[in-house]
């Protein structure tokens, strides 16, 4: 498979990632994930399966988005990519913990499950992810390979995605879906720029 084919598959990964994240956000409206008693339920597991699979695919999408604009994005793009990749990789670990460890804790030690284990670590993960995606969005805006509005939406989404309010990730997911669509189809690159994603 050619490198162009791999980059397009990364665009599809970004698109699917956004869809899974939105499905997790919507389902989360009906599941109290903060309550240890819900940790052993199927809806709780579904929420975190959607989030985990979405975050894993987001790593692939991010790689494709970076490769498609690496020359134009420069040092800021590299720093943004590495920070966003690291933050998202840590997020995958946190989501894995929520999906596979928290339910066992809820059964064996309910008080421990509700004790906000590692809250400082979770905050660090979310701050690192937000910083990385804001930097990557700024580099994307500066590179002008993708539409300005998509890059600006990514910056805003990076800022609000990790705020603990319902559907806060929707803006970020919309930006990832838009950029992923462009990467996958090769259509919609910034006007007046040679498209490296087509």
Domain holding 138, by residue range, is: 3-185
Domain membership of residue 195 (yes or no) is no
Q: Do the domain assignments include residue 47?
A: yes
Percent of the chain with pLDDT over 70: 89
- More confident: 88 or 120: 88
Mean pLDDT of the chain: 89
pLDDT of residue 192: 40
How high is the pLDDT of residue 188? 65
Q: Has residue 190 been placed in a domain? A: no
Q: For a pLDDT cut of 90, what percent of the chain falls above it?
A: 67
SS3 at position 193: coil
CB atoms within 10 A of CB 67: 17
In a domain, 19, yes or no: yes
Q: What is the mean pLDDT of residues 111-138?
A: 81
Residue 54 lies in a domain: yes
- Inform me whether the pLDDT recorded for 194 exceeds 50: no
Answer whether residue 192 is part of any domain: no
Q: Please, what is the Cα angle at 167 between 197 and 24, to 5 degrees?
A: 75
Q: Is the pLDDT of residue 195 over 50?
A: no
Please indicate, yes or no, if residue 197 is contained in any of the structural domains.
no
Number of domains in the chain: 1
List CB contacts of 136: < 8 A, sequence separation 6 or more. Answer: 62, 65, 66, 77, 80, 81, 83, 84, 154, 158
Note whether residue 41 is domain-resident.
yes
């Amino acid at each position: 498979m050619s490198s162009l084919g791999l980059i397009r598959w990364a665009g599809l990964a970004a698109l699917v990632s956004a869809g899974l994240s939105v499905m997790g956000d919507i389902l989360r409206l009906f599941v109290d994930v903060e309550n240890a008693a819900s940790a052993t339920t199927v809806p709780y597991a579904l929420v975190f399966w959607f989030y985990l699979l979405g975050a894993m695919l987001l790593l692939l999408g991010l790689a494709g988005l970076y490769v498609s604009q690496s020359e134009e994005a420069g040092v800021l793009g590299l720093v943004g990519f590495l920070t966003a990749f690291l933050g998202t990789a840590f997020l995958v670990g946190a989501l894995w913990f929520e999906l596979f460890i928290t339910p066992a804790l809820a059964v064996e030690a309910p008080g421990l499950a509700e004790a906000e284990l590692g809250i400082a670590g979770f905050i660090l993960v979310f701050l690192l992810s937000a910083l990385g995606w804001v930097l990557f969005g700024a580099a994307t805006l500066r590179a002008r390979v993708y539409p300005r509005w998509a890059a600006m939406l990514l910056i805003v989404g990076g800022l609000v995605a990790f705020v603990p309010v319902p559907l806060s990730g929707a803006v970020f997911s919309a930006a990832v879906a838009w950029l992923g669509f462009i990467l996958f189809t090769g259509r919609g690159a910034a006007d007046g720029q040679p498209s490296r994603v087509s």
